[in-house]
């Protein structure tokens, strides 16, 4: 019952891994190189070295669930967006299907539903997320798709919302709240084929993501 965390070394990925480890949830952090290992090893988190731009099939060995929270980052160009956020996600979905993985959790984005509505510089990223989400839906792999709003570095409140109507138009959500939401979803193994927008709000995570 191990969850493979793709994108474990990212800002959300690290916070999620710490929460999952504290909760006793078996996880395997997929990282790009050995230089990233010490942070995880000191916290007792299993790692596997693999790269979304290379061969990463071995990372799936013994895992029954996948959490994809990888991203090319804000400082890369459209080429990396295509290779990581789109093609990397597609390859991960294909491997999940081949290996008979029980569930695939995708971290997407709220504006991925309408990439042209996003700020111009974010449109390639949103288009990649739109296509990756569509590929996952069509794959037949049991799925959850989480669509956070604009990410912030505010502390975790563990209180969220799923619509702009609830928040009065505020579209932000802290990375910490996203990590807590993912930790909840990873444990909620009977929850499949659902999609959630995630914003900072007033309701407890367990109530919202049910």
The residues carrying an active-site annotation are 125
List of E strands, the chain:
2-6, 27-31, 46-49, 63-68, 103-107, 143-148, 150-152, 159-161, 172-174, 194-200, 203-204
Given a contact cutoff of 8 angstroms between Cβ atoms, the answer to whether 160 and 125 are in contact is no
Q: How far apart are CA 119 and CA 106, in angstroms?
A: 22
Question: How far separated are the first and last CA of the chain, in Å rounded?
Answer: 21
Phi and psi, residue 141, nearest 5°: -75, 130
Cβ contacts of residue 163 below 8 Å, gap of 6+? 197, 199
Say if residue 1 is exposed, middle or buried (CB neighbours under 10 Å; 0-12, 13-18, 19+).
exposed
Number of DSSP helices (H) and strands (E) in the chain, helices first = 8, 11
What 8-state DSSP symbol labels residue 154? P
């Amino acid at each position: 019952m191990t969850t493979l965390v793709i994108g474990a070394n990212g800002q959300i990925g690290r916070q999620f891994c710490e929460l999952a480890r504290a909760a006793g949830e078996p996880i395997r952090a997929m990282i790009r190189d050995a230089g990233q290992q010490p942070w995880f090893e000191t916290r007792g988190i299993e790692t596997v070295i693999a790269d979304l731009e290379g061969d990463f099939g071995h990372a799936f060995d013994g895992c029954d669930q996948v959490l994809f929270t990888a991203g090319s980052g804000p400082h890369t160009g459209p080429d990396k967006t295509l290779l990581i956020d789109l093609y990397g996600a597609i390859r991960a979905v294909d491997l999940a299907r081949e290996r008979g993985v029980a569930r695939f959790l995708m971290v997407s984005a709220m504006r991925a539903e309408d990439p042209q509505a996003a700020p111009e510089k974010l449109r390639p990223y949103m288009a990649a997320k739109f296509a990756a989400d569509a590929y996952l839906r069509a794959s037949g792999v049991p799925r959850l798709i989480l669509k956070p709003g604009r990410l912030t570095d505010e502390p975790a409140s563990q209180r969220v919302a799923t619509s702009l109507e609830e928040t009065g138009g505020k579209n932000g959500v802290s990375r910490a709240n996203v990590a807590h939401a993912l930790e909840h979803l990873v444990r909620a193994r009977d929850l499949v084929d659902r999609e959630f927008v995630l914003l900072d709000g007033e309701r407890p995570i367990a109530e919202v993501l049910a």
